[in-house]
Amino acid sequence: MTLPRWLFALTVFLAVALSQQPDLSLRVLLQETPTAQVTLGNYQRITAGGHQAFPGGPVGLAQSGGNVLVDGQNVGPWVELAGDGFALGDKAYRGSLLVVAQNGRLLLINRVWLEDYLLGVVPAEVPRSFPSAVLQAQAILARTFALNRLNPSGLYDLCADERCQVYGGRGVETPEHTAAVQATRTLIVSYANQPITAVYHADSGGYTAAAEEVWGRSVPYLLPRPDPYSQSPKSPWALTLSPAAVAQRLLAQGASVGEVLSLEALSYTDSGRPSRIRVRGSLRTVELAGAEATRFLRALGLPSTRISISGWQVSGRGVGHGVGMSQWGAKGFAQQGWDFRQILGYYYPGTFLSGFDVVTGLHDKLMAAGYPVGTVVAQQ
């Protein structure tokens, strides 16, 4: 579905301007649901026919025939509820709620300033007990990730779960995380004057992975690197695989081998992850290589792929895909005195810290696509 031009232009935000710095309006999909109930303070109800003020309280949302129903009233294919934030279920959010009827469901989309969005993302990714340098590095990466995922042709830019970045809204905000966001305001990591693919993970197990190991494509700044301080409480780990589970995962990847008889790693990458795997079955033997081998291992439910295999026993280190910044590794570097610049420079070699508003053509592209770019700061 192509986003109508009028929906791009639509924005109502209430902000307290404590300083004049740039910000950007994001669209974050919170839920897809047939019905919902939200709670607001005094708010504006905005539709294609105009806007009208309403008192605060609970608001029931439903859909019928491609239109949105607000407390049973048909308001058209979309409506925006704009006030000083809103509550959806047990979570509170900054910004406004855009509701779009589509394919028999409601898309509940939070329209929120980028810096306010980050206040609800960084706490969901890194504990408040981590050093401030790690929180600051994470804030920059989360900002970069969001800019990299802008989607002018769609109804929203990001989702609110682990498929994108976990976004917990107002309820997860802490003073430590807020300070990290504010201290790094507008900073992103760039390469060739564009926001990088800002992937990160929990624990590399001692050595980060190259992008091609996981996704099968080379990225110049996502390289294998020693990660000496990366050790989370969940690492090292060990588990036992079952032949039936191995056969099932192979079948899901289009390979049938019959009864699985053995599994072995034939070679390893520079980061210590299997680059070729052989599975011997009663019908035939198959070998998986590169990103295909990685997908197979992750589909088996392994916490990471920095492993060794002995029979059906798997021993491993690390948690996550292993590419980019390791949050536990960054913690160790910070405890050695590194600041966020040194941490990001280590995990993303050849990149630069930039302001998003000066990345080549980005500001003009955002404005042309209809993304509101203003001069506001996060509300207190």
pLDDT digits (tens, 9 = 90+) for 163-199: 888 999 999 999 999 999 999 998 999 998 889 999 9
Asked whether the predicted pLDDT for residue 94 surpasses 80, the reply is: yes
40-51: b (≥16 Cβ within 10 Å) or e: beebbbbbeeee
Asked whether the predicted pLDDT for residue 39 surpasses 50, the reply is: yes
d(CA 78, CA 101): 6
Mean pLDDT of 144-161: 90
pLDDT exceeding 90 applies to what percent of the chain? Answer: 69
Asked whether the predicted pLDDT for residue 11 surpasses 50, the reply is: no
Mean pLDDT of 16-44: 80
| pLDDT for position 86 | 95
Asked if 355 contacts 362 with a C-beta cutoff of 8 angstroms, the reply is no
Mean pLDDT of 309-319: 93
Asked whether the predicted pLDDT for residue 2 surpasses 70, the reply is: no
Mean pLDDT of 83-110: 94
| pLDDT for position 374 | 62
pLDDT in tens, 221-236: 999 999 999 989 998 9
Handedness of CA 151, 155, 159, 160 (dihedral sign): positive
Give the sheet arrangement for strand 187-191, strand by strand: 194-195, 187-191, 352-355
Which residues are registered as beta bridge partners of 69? 62, 74
Mean per-residue pLDDT over the chain, rounded:
88
d(CA 144, CA 186): 9
Q: For residue 197, what are its two tokens?
A: 């693919």
| pLDDT for position 22 | 59
